Amino acid sequence: MKIVGKGALHQSLGNYLKEKRIESGLTQSEVAKKLGYSTPQFISNFERGLCSPPLKNLKILVRLYKIDAAELMDLIMEEQENILQKALNVKGRRKRA
């Protein structure tokens, strides 16, 4: 079952960021410190899909995890498109110019 709505974006992004953090060999505590957070709870919240990181922190995470920014943008845009399709009751992917 696919999660639909804003929660779906948070969940997909959270899963992706967790995977990339683990691949980078970093703990939630280490990442939290690099982002200026006092506890790893903020990172846990991102990874569990409760919220998304602020854009300024997302930029840092891209560098920290050595993420392909285009890949991250594609993930976010695909989830946004799914949210809009559901809200507008539209089926299928829209063709881009």
pLDDT of residue 82: 86
pLDDT of residue 2: 43
CA atoms within 13 Å, Cβ hemisphere of 49: 14
Q: Residue 14 in contact with residue 46, Cβ under 8 Å? A: yes
pLDDT of residue 61: 97
Domain locations in the chain as residue ranges = 6-88
Averaged pLDDT, groups of 10, the chain, 97 residues long = 62 96 98 96 96 93 96 93 87 62
pLDDT of residue 4: 47
How many other CB atoms are there within 10 angstroms of residue 22's CB atom? 12
Q: How far apart are CA 95 and CA 57, in angstroms?
A: 31
pLDDT of residue 92: 67
Q: Taking the domain 6-88, which CATH number applies?
A: 1.10.260.40
